Amino acid sequence: MVFNSQFRALLAIIQREMIKFWHQKGRLVAALVRPSLWLIVFAAGFQNVFGVSIIPPYETYIEYQEYVIPGLLGMVLLFNGMQSSLAMVYDREMGLMRLLLTAPQPRWFLLFSKLVSGTILSLLQAYAFLILTVVFQIDIPWSGWLYAFPAMLLGGLMLGSLGLLLSVYIKQLENFAGTMNFVIFPMFFISTALYPLWKLEESGAEVVFQLASYNPFTHAVELIRFALYGQFNAVSFGVVLVSGLLFFMLSVWGYNPQRGMAKFVKQKR
């Protein structure tokens, strides 16, 4: 009975996100244009600048365009995770958050449902981008499409949890620009999405190298990179799993009325 009730709630939240996504067709286009531009413009322009040596999981020299694919998939997951955060803030401003939080379901489950619905959208967009890579004649093994699924699922859940956590502290939609500057861009640029770690070390950017080494987004990208070539990166799996759990638990704590939702629900006496 309880399972039925929770399953219906989960479906309701997923269905609502899907309907909203369907009505926002520009969102899918934006999600594809962003990494595609990086792939066409950035990768094409810099492939001679950023030579990539043979590093795992690659067994031969690869073109830079192929190197950046996992990073761009990570970018899709990262932006959608943050978009989910934006949607939470929007729901809060519109009063819809109250509706969600006053449903007779465990709060952690409601937040988990939001996380799952956001991650499903992330995966749809990531696979849509993978289809585009075929158009651009980038050679990703077909088996990698399958192996990448659990990696992108885990990465999507981790980045979605980060989005949930941020939504606790972003009080207004206008603050989202700050999220771009202080979360999305640093996470993306200080990672292995665009260049391998050894490049950072070799160039003497020790601080950036250290930051990138510990950046959970780096590990989400590496997990996807290895999975695309049928390999498993245990360290990255561990970092993404632990980071995701930590972000989610902090989100649940953040949405706990015991700590006073006054922090993020507009106060009215």
Residues that bind other proteins (CB under 8 A): 4-6, 8-9, 11-13, 15-16, 19-20, 23, 94-96, 98-107, 257-258, 260-262, 265, 267-269
Q: Least distance (Å) from other proteins to the CB of residue 147?
A: 34
- Alpha-carbon torsion (144, 150, 153, 158), positive or negative: negative
In angstroms, the CA 69 to CA 84 distance is 23
Q: What is the full DSSP assignment across 17-40?
A: HHHHHHH-HHHHHHHHHHHHHIII
Output 19 or 44, the one with its CB closest to other proteins.
19
Q: Least distance (Å) from other proteins to the CB of residue 214?
A: 36
Q: What is the full DSSP assignment across 110-174?
A: HHHHHHHHHHHHHHHHHHHHHHHHHHTT----HHHHHHHHHHHHHHHHHHHHHHHHHHHH--SGG
Q: Helix, strand or coil for residue 106?
A: coil
Output 62 or 265, the one with its CB closest to other proteins.
265
CB-based burial of residue 247 (10 Å sphere; 0-12 exposed, 13-18 middle, 19+ buried)? buried
Q: Least distance (Å) from other proteins to the CB of residue 101?
A: 6
Output 55 or 101, the one with its CB closest to other proteins.
101
Q: Least distance (Å) from other proteins to the CB of residue 165?
A: 19
Q: Least distance (Å) from other proteins to the CB of residue 93?
A: 9
Asked if 241 contacts 154 with a C-beta cutoff of 8 angstroms, the reply is yes
Output 114 or 199, the one with its CB closest to other proteins.
114
Output 20 or 245, the one with its CB closest to other proteins.
20
